[in-house]
Amino acid sequence: MSHGWRSTTFTGEAEMLDTLTDLSGKRWLSRGQAETYGRLQPSIDRAPRERLTRVEKLRLERQSIDIFRSTARSFGPGEGGAMYKDVVALMVMRHYGVPTRLLDWSLSPFVAAYFASEKDGSDGEIWSFSYDKYIAMGNEQWNAMPGALRDGKWEAEFSAFTADDPPDWFACNFYAGFPRQDAQRGLYSMTARFGRGHEEAIATLLRDPDSHSRFVVPSSLKPRLRQLLREQHGIWRGSLFPDSAGAAETVISHIFAK
């Protein structure tokens, strides 16, 4: 696997469940992708935007945030922070499908497994890395990047939105309080630079190949995995999108899309 990620393909139900339980016990962060893309690429860096310059992508972010704030008349619980912090605005918009430089992760590998298995007809993948290792190496990262700090502290807004390329940092952040994120035990990864694959950034920061892994979920195992997640952990689409918009989408997908 490129950038030092070890890749394992699950061969059966027992192996899948044992691995997910092990990841949960180790406090690894996990991200599920319904297809085997082989990389962690934020939506703002995907086609048709992948060739845009940094300035052009910053302009898209600014326009997205400004339009979001000017048109939103009400917010769900915990979403109000999007009105005064740009990174929080990106987090909330990411949860509702707006292209951003953020990627969603979960403290629960079982949640990640749901997203890796939700689409039939193709293999899925689960990316995982040690949260404790990230905290330790993240502290070293900031010590080596004084240009990313303001008054000795890291703040995303300070160096993430500059026209010139900022220090090449990688960060994971929680923003607790709104229903989807809480239900998904979610947090977000972010890079200072556009076009920076998060798989590369994670491997570069952590360095230790034992601290991050990728797992392939064969398409043949997906239906059974979804069944086990719902029966044993209560995880299904309805439990992960508990707000009104998510509930309506669940109705459409389970009743009208058949």
Convert the pLDDT of each residue in 37-65 to its tens digit: 999 999 999 999 999 999 999 999 999 99
pLDDT, residue 32, reads: 98
87 burial via Cβ count (<10 Å: 0-12, 13-18, 19+): buried
Looking at the structure of the chain, the number of domains it has is 1
pLDDT, residue 258, reads: 66
Which position has the higher pLDDT, 155 or 123?
A: 123
Mean pLDDT confidence for 13-31: 96
Helix (H) or strand (E) holding 230: helix 222-233
How many residues comprise the chain? 258
pLDDT beyond 60 at 1: no
pLDDT, residue 2, reads: 57
Mean pLDDT confidence for 200-216: 96
Instruction: Name residue, tokens 């899925």.
Output: 124
Question: What pLDDT digit, counting tens, does each position of 100-154 carry?
Answer: 999 999 999 999 999 999 999 999 999 999 999 999 998 889 888 877 777 777 7
Angle in degrees, CA 196, 179, 90, rounded to 5: 30
Mean pLDDT confidence for 66-85: 86
Q: How far is CA 44 from CA 94, 96, 99, 177, 248, in A?
A: 10, 14, 5, 25, 26
Radius of gyration in angstroms for the set of CA atoms belonging to the chain, rounded to a whole number: 18
Helix (H) or strand (E) holding 15: helix 13-26
